[in-house]
Amino acid sequence: MEAVRVLRRHAPRRLLLNHMLWNVVMPPIWRGAPGLVSQPSRVVFVCLGNVCRSPYAEMRARQAGLRASSCGLSVDSSVRSPSAAVEAAAERGIDLSAHRSRPLKAAEVEPHDLVLVMEPYMLSVTRRRLERAGTVVSLLGLYGHPTRRPTPYIPDPHGLPAGVFSLAYEMIDQCVDHLASTWRSTEL
């Protein structure tokens, strides 16, 4: 319930409602991670602006030994990560200071990529944009630790207090760690 406490205190009502919808109201339809792509060429993380969640997930995945990239659905130009994101990531050993946002382009996504988005509404948008790429698009939150209930919604901390960044980055860490360990175990 730590997530609900942080969201109640710091997040806009939309974040709290989304969290409650997917984790409390909806029946537990999200049971475990979806099937993993065999021999993926890389993981592509997608969020809205490519300045907070997806660049953090990209760097975390690289740290875990995965080939990774990130991009955003609504990116106009090359933008730096906000200082709050850089500071929160640095506390977790991730350097976002050199990151610049990139837009999602189907031409840059390879057929054997696994594309992971941060929120449910991003699934249909991303699938439409990558229609011809032949990639698997899923929710990063579904790859959470198997002993905990996965959440399809990783909150967007942009413009919010440090506690929301910590919550989002903790969720991303759990998902990326589980994803990396699952892939390592299937390579044996």
Mean pLDDT by 10 residues, the chain (188 residues): 53 52 39 51 93 97 94 89 94 95 85 91 90 82 75 89 91 92 67
> Which residues lie closer than 8 Å to 44 by C-beta, 6 or more apart?
68, 69, 70, 71, 109, 113, 114, 115, 116, 135
* Alpha-carbon torsion angle 20, 25, 31, 37, nearest 10: -60
Cβ atoms of 158 and 52 closer than 8 Å: yes
pTM over the 0.85 mark:
no
- Its sign, for the CA torsion 169, 174, 176, 177, is positive
67-88: buried (b, 16+ CB within 10 Å) or exposed (e) per residue? ebbbbbbebeeeeebbebbbeb
d(CA 103, CA 70): 9
Q: pLDDT digit string (tens) for 100-115?
A: 999 998 768 888 889 9
d(CA 172, CA 56): 8
Listed residue (136, 134, 143, 138) closest to 175, CA to CA: 143
| Beta-strand runs (E) in 28-133 | 43-47, 68-72, 114-117
Quote the longest CA-to-CA distance of the chain: 45
User: What's the pLDDT at 33?
Assistant: 43
- Domains delineated in the chain: 2-187 (3.40.50.2300)
The residues with which 72 forms a beta bridge, in sequence order, are 47, 103
Alpha helices in 113-161 (DSSP H): 121-129
Give the SS3 label for residue 115: strand
